[in-house]
């Protein structure tokens, strides 16, 4: 969900008059105004002042783009623009936003965005980013390191027994060379 400040209807209008999206938007607005005028005529009671039709103009031109930034010289908003709440398609939320997002509730006042508490969100985000797996991996790594250190210790002890094969080894040495030497000297 984003809050944007974008141009008002007069920012880019010709002479800063009301700018319409296109001709069909203008035609729809004219039809609506006519309908309202006829309704007011029918509802008029004796003694009421005659209703006045709403006169719409397209002097401001067409091409209103609600994504543009406001214009400082605008005679209507003076560059303040209009605040717009933009709700993005929830299928494409970032992991951070998805962790906060709990759903959308339709209310009489409009859409209500439901969010998780920051703590819940932090936990969901941590899960999404794999912090817990990393945690497990680290535990695993710790175990692997322990096994590695144990294996290295065993190896070091085996290395300590290597001198058995060297000349001068006590009789009964298991190496073939040691056995041959022993036979020659007899
Ligand atoms: Zn404006």
pLDDT of res. 20 = 98
- Residue 104 forms beta bridges with which residues? 113
- Distance (angstroms) between ligand 1 centre and the Cα of 35 equals 29
- Asked whether the beta carbons of 84 and 8 are under 8 A apart, the reply is no
Centre of ligand 1 to C-alpha 93, Å, is: 31
Cα 36 to ligand 1 centroid, rounded to whole Å: 27
Cα gap 76→138, rounded to integer Å: 61
- Ligand 1 centre to CA of 83 (Å) is 11
The predicted structure's pLDDT at residue 14:
97
72 CA to centre of ligand 1 in angstroms: 8
Secondary structure class of 6 (helix, strand, coil): strand
CA of residue 48 to ligand 1 center, whole Å: 37
pLDDT of the residue at 130: 78
How far apart CA 185 and CA 91 sit, in angstroms, is 87
Quick: pLDDT tens for 62-85: 999 999 999 999 999 999 999 988
The yes-or-no verdict on residue 135 having pLDDT over 70 is no
Distance 78 CA to ligand 1 centre (A): 6
Q: Is the pLDDT score of 160 beyond 50?
A: no
Which residues is 84 bridged to in the sheet?
4
Q: Which residue has the higher pLDDT, 181 or 112?
A: 112
pLDDT band at 105 (very low <50, low <70, confident <90, very high): confident
Q: What share of the chain is helix, strand, coil (3-state, %, to 5)?
A: 45, 15, 40
Query: How many angstroms separate the alpha carbon of residue 57 from the centre of ligand 1?
Result: 17
Measure the CA angle with vertex 72, ends 24 and 87; round to 5°: 55
Give this prediction's pTM: 0.52
């Amino acid at each position: 969900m984003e809050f944007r400040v974008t141009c008002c209807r007069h920012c880019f209008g010709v002479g800063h008059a009301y700018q319409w999206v296109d001709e069909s938007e203008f035609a729809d607005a004219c039809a609506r105004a006519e309908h309202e005028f006829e309704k007011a005529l029918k509802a008029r009671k004796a003694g009421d002042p005659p209703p006045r039709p709403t006169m719409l103009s397209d002097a401001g031109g067409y091409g209103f783009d609600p994504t543009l930034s406001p214009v400082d010289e605008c005679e209507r908003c003076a560059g303040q623009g209009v605040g717009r709440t933009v709700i993005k398609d929830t299928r494409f939320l970032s992991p951070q936003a998805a962790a906060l997002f709990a759903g959308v509730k339709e209310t009489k006042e409009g859409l209500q965005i439901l969010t998780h508490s920051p703590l819940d969100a932090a936990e969901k985000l941590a899960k999404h980013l794999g912090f817990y797996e990393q945690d497990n991996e680290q535990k695993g790594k710790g175990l692997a390191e322990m096994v590695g250190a144990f294996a290295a210790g065993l190896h070091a002890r085996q290395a300590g027994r290597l001198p058995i094969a060297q000349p001068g080894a006590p009789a009964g040495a298991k190496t073939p060379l040691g056995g041959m030497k022993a036979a020659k000297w007899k």
